[in-house]
């Protein structure tokens, strides 16, 4: 299949809209990550999406809409919490889960009786939905298991020849996928953390809980969002997080936590030791570090992931950095922990998945 590369100009959006109307697949930019779109109400289109991604068909898709009226076409029940969240956060990086109507095929929802709905804020995404008159089912436009695409080039890497067209809207703004909140539970529950935080949700609808598999990940417990399984977003090389952990010895703890520089240096020393060890075994080793710490490592071994002081820059860079690791053929990747004050939860959720939850702790005793 020849994949057309389109722009966000009117004529190209028309071309893409026609492809969707005719049952084809188009990748398009959203404010979070690029999506791989097809007609959400067509079982054939949803099956094509699974095939193009190489994704198991029991992992449901998000339906993208451009008008709140569409919610009432596809959801069997729209509680007040949904209305409040739609009002507060749409268009934007929030996906809500509601009971589905029969018009939504089981293929789109992976057999579930609920449907995930989101109104993206990216103008090209909204134009595409409006011009096509189609509600667009769209997972992230990566091959299943790879990091989500944040540029059109990432989509081309994974999808060229597998889909009809890719709309190039430049790099996305946010860089990690939308927050997902399940409104079919008695207490609204976050199934995937994202740019819209628990605090922001609670300010609008009161108590919100977090799916327990996000807090205590366990390969034997199935998360409520089937896509949030244990490993995901993974680069080809083996990624390990190296993190400082306060020692149980409180006397030492006081001494250490008094000086952030000491703990940063302990982590860097460990990572540099692992770098040497890997290199001496003939392995290609790469280090992921925030810009502020790049100087602690050999220059030719570091890939930076944004600034610690600005979580949004780390979110925007994370997936591109993981793809760069693949591109240079890294076999071992060591990353500093990126548990920042801003977006830290959402970023660490992705980083831990990419690392298959491999973490090495350093403490003042080690």
Max CA distance (Å), the chain: 69
- What separation in angstroms does the CA of 251 have from each of 98, 259, 262, 264, 361? 51, 14, 16, 19, 19
Bridge partners (DSSP) of residue 244 are 362
Q: Is 59 in the site for ligand TXA (CB under 6 A)?
A: yes
Written as six digits, the tokens of 249 are: 């010895």
Q: Is 352 exposed, middle or buried, given 0-12, 13-18 or 19+ CB atoms closer than 10 A?
A: buried
Under the binding rule (CB under 6 A), the answer on residue 191 touching ligand TXA is yes
DSSP assignments along 24-90, one per residue = --EEE--SSS-EEEEETT-HHHHHHHHHHHT--TTSPPEEE-SSTHHHHHHBS---HHHHHHHHHH-
- The four Cα atoms 345, 110, 37, 349 give a dihedral, to 10 degrees, of 10
- Residue 188 engages ligand TXA in binding (rule: CB under 6 A): no
User: Is residue 333 involved in binding ligand TXA (CB under 6 A)?
Assistant: no
Round to whole Å and give the CA distance between 99 and 76.
5
> Out of Mg ion, ligand TXA, none, which partner does residue 17 contact, by CB within 5 to 8 A per kind?
none
Q: Which does 237 bind (CB under 5 to 8 A by kind): Mg ion, ligand TXA, none?
A: none
Nearer residue to ligand TXA within complex by CB, 86 or 302: 86
Asked if 109 is part of the footprint of ligand TXA (rule: CB under 6 A), the reply reads yes
Residue nearest to ligand TXA (CB): 227
With a CB cutoff of 8 Å and minimum separation 6, the contacts of 328 are 284, 286
- CA pair distance 12, 153, nearest whole angstrom: 18
Task: Tell the smallest beta-carbon distance from residue 69 to ligand TXA (Å).
Answer: 20
37 touches, from ligand TXA, Mg ion, none (C-beta below 5 to 8 Å by class): none
**Between 288 and 327, how does the x/- string for binding to ligand TXA read (CB under 6 A)?**
----------------------------------------
Residue 57 or 363: the one with the smaller Cβ distance to ligand TXA is 57
State the number of binding residues for ligand TXA (CB under 6 A): 29
Residue 140 or 213: the one with the smaller Cβ distance to Mg ion is 140
SS3 124: helix
Site residues (CB under 6 A) for ligand TXA, limited to 68-107? 95, 97
Q: Would you count residue 247 as binding Mg ion (CB under 5 A)?
A: no
Interface pattern 19-38 for ligand TXA (x via CB under 6 A): -----------x-xx-x---
Residue 63 touches which of Mg ion, ligand TXA, none (CB < 5 to 8 A by kind)?
none
Report if residue 225 touches ligand TXA, rule: CB under 6 A: yes
> Which residue, 138 or 302, is less far from ligand TXA as judged by CB?
138
DSSP 170-182: -S-SS-SPPEEEE
The verdict on 139 binding ligand TXA (CB under 6 A) reads yes
> Is residue 304 involved in binding Mg ion (CB under 5 A)?
no
Chain positions 263 to 292 lying near ligand TXA, rule: CB under 6 A, are none
Nearer to Mg ion, 49 or 66 (CB): 49
CA distance 151 to 120: 17
Torsion over CA: 249, 252, 257, 263 (sign): negative
Distance CA 67, CA 70 (A): 6
**Residue 308 CB, nearest approach to ligand TXA (Å):** 24
140, 197, 337, 349: residue in contact with Mg ion (rule CB under 5 A): 140
Verify binding: residue 150, Mg ion, rule CB under 5 A: no
The residue assigned the tokens 């819209």 is 196
What is the pairing mode between strands 114-118 and 189-192? unpaired
Q: What gap in Å lies between CA 114 and CA 74, rounded to an integer?
A: 10
CB-based contact 80:96 (threshold 8 Å): no
Shortest gap between Cβ of 59 and Mg ion (angstroms)?
A: 9
Evaluate whether 134 touches 20 at the Cβ level (below 8 Å): yes
Residues lying near Mg ion in the complex (CB under 5 A): 140
Question: Using CB under 6 A as the criterion, which residues of the chain lie in contact with ligand TXA when the complex forms?
Answer: 30, 32-33, 35, 59-62, 95, 97, 109, 112, 114-116, 118, 120, 138-140, 177-178, 180, 191, 224-228
């Amino acid at each position: 299949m020849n994949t057309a590369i389109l722009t966000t100009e009117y004529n190209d959006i028309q071309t893409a809209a026609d492809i969707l109307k005719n049952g084809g697949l188009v990748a398009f930019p959203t404010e979070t990550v690029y999506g791989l779109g097809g007609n959400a109400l067509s079982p054939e289109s949803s099956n094509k999406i699974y095939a193009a991604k190489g994704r198991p068909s029991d992992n449901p898709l998000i339906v993208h809409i451009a008008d709140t009226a569409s919610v009432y076409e596809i959801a069997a029940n729209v509680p007040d919490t949904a209305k409040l969240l739609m009002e507060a956060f749409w268009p934007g990086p929030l996906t809500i889960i509601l009971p589905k109507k029969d018009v939504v095929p089981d293929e789109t929802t992976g057999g579930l009786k609920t449907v995930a709905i989101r109104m993206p804020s990216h103008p090209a995404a909204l134009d595409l939905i409006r011009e096509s008159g189609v509600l667009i089912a769209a997972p992230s436009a990566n091959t299943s298991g790879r990091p989500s695409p944040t540029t059109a080039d990432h989509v081309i890497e994974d999808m060229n020849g597998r889909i009809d067209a890719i709309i190039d809207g430049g790099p996305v703004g946010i860089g990690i996928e939308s927050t997902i909140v399940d409104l079919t539970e008695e207490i609204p529950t976050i199934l995937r953390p994202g740019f819209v935080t628990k605090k922001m949700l609670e300010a609008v609808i009161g108590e919100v809980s977090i799916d327990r598999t996000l807090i205590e990940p366990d390969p034997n417990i199935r998360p409520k969002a089937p896509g949030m399984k244990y490993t995901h977003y993974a680069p080809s090389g083996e990624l390990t997080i190296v993190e400082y952990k306060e020692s149980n010895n409180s006397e030492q703890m006081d001494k250490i936590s008094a000086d952030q520089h000491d703990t940063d240096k302990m982590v860097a020393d460990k990572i540099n030791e692992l770098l040497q060890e890997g290199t001496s075994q003939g392995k290609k080793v790469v280090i992921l570090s925030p810009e502020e710490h790049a100087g602690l490592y050999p220059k030719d071994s570091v890939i930076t992931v944004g600034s610690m002081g600005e979580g949004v820059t780390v979110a925007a860079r994370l997936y591109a950095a993981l793809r760069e690791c693949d591109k240079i053929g890294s076999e071992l990747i060591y990353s500093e922990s990126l548990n920042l004050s801003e977006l830290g939860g959402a970023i660490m959720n992705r980083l831990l998945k990419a690392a298959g939850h491999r973490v090495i702790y350093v403490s003042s005793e080690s």
